[in-house]
Amino acid sequence: MKGIAASPGIAIGKVLIKRDSQIKIEKKNIDNIEDEIKRLNKAREMSKTQIRTIYKHTLENIGQKEAKIFEAHMMILDDPEYFGQVEEKIKTEKINAEQALKQVTDTFIEIFQNMDNEYMKERALDIKDVSNRVIRELLGVETTDLSKLEEEVIIISEDLTPSDTAQMDKEKVLGFITEIGGKTSHSAIMARTLELPAVVGVEGIIKSVKNRDVVILDGEEGIVIINPDEETLKKYKDKKEKYQKYKNKLKKLKGRESITKDGFKVELVANIGTPKDIEGVIRNDAEGVGLYRTEFLYMDRKSLPTEEEQFNAYKEVAEKLEGKPVVIRTLDIGGDKDLPYLELPKEMNPFLGYRAIRLCLDRIEIFKTQLRALLRASIYGNIKIMFPMISSIEELRQAKQILEEVKEELRRENINFSEGIEVGMMIEIPSAAIMSDIFAKEVDFFSIGTNDLIQYITAVDRGNRKISYLYSQYHPALLRLIKQVIDNGHKEGIWVGMCGEVAGDPKLIPILIGMGLDEFSMSPISILRARWIITNIEQKEMKKFLQHILNLPTAEEVEKFINENINIE
């Protein structure tokens, strides 16, 4: 069976189907409204206790970014509007708490799922998860506890909530398979963080297996094999052993330079969202941070972070990296990420709207507070500032002017900062890529953001399944633009990095080496794999391949050529 490869690795083991008891909610009329509201609040308190436990476990064993999911769950449980509507329904309709909660939840979910904003759509999943937890408490329904397993298993479920994946016993769970979900779903992201093999979006898997069946899970290819024959079993056992040897081989690359056989040296750095992520950066031997997504400091809270809160977060990262570069992107909110307390306008197309630098240049005080915190933290390490979503030279100059004003304020206040701090910009809009020869004269570096760049070049919403096949990192237009940006940057003597998904793509890394990309920023767990590829190729050979690739007319032909001619692994 075929699904979506969510997290690499091979797992072979017995099936455990996580089939939560179907929650049947009957509508009942109640006589005592006060008692029913007490029942609801008791279930809420029990749910809060459970979430606090999960949050603590996640924070200690996985990371702060993943634990923030459960901070959001606590906020839902404390939301007076949400539970106020439930209580009102109990009072006015005199119905049982679980039925009232279900009705209110269904309304909220429908509202959130119909929004264009991907971040708000994810909140619908959080509301559903929290609601189901409270309803189970009200009904006394138990769920499969993945933290208390007696033997090694591969979990199969329709879907896994953040709570499910956070509580998994990593010693016993070999991997998991779900019927729904995508590569960016909570469960897929958590699987990669935990380094558990996973395949998601396998339609019909639950009907095709029973408990204790043997399955093979190939998280690299997105393949699931049920009750394999001896020959297939042996083939995948060998593949698993080979993959383990490969992982061990990668560990030996720690401490080595990222340099090709013919001496072209690059920097392999990591993308992070919170200071807690630095543990993974250090563990995987990244050479710094190429993208610190500061918006996570602003999310899942009720007000803007203060200058001091931001300063402490940036300072912590800079100090922990002990002089290694830390590229910090200024606030990139809007599009698929919303902040309710900012009361952003509802837009027909938020990806083309009021977001990132456009918001910051309009709400200058928010921008200045962040820039003050960044500059103050710059004396504690090698911090670089990067502006996102720049589409015109006027925007860049305005952002730089505001930065200069903040520097002058700090000088007047006798507050130290790094006077020579580097300032760069994201290249993620076609206009910026086309005009990169002009932009290169005004910044210290470029970082190419391929996720949005592909979307804007191809006019494809990557979240739209109907047309997602048109969204390809092998698109010839993208590759030509990347080459143009790198060449224009180098002509002006600035370095050029990349921080989108393409930077960590094993098939495209050799091509980017041929183009002369200076810095690759990716998920920490991809660092050593990228170093293995880079240390086993020659740049001059990749340049020869590049000439041919840039003349291919389709993404399919580009990928086919790479598969047939450049197989490093």
Tell me which residues are annotated as active site. 186, 499
Residue of 78, 171, 86, 73 lying closest to 126 (CA atoms): 73
Q: Which residues 6+ apart lie within 8 Å of 424 measured at CB?
A: 327, 384, 385, 386, 387, 443, 444, 445, 446, 447, 494
Helix (H, G, I), strand (E, B) or coil at 226: strand
Strand order across the beta sheet in which 153-157 lies: 4-7, 198-200, 173-178, 153-157, 10-18, 214-218, 223-226
Q: Read off the DSSP letter of residue 66.
A: H
Helices 97-113 & 33-61, crossing angle to 10 degrees? 50
DSSP string for 504-526: G-TTTHHHHHHHT--EEEE-GGG
* DSSP letter for each residue of 13-57: EEEEEE-PPP------B-S-HHHHHHHHHHHHHHHHHHHHHHHHH
Find tokens 């203060």 and name the residue: 306
Q: Residue 4: which H helix or E strand, with range?
A: strand 4-7
Give the C-alpha separation, 232 to 234, whole Å. Answer: 5
Q: Tokens in use for 515?
A: 């183009």
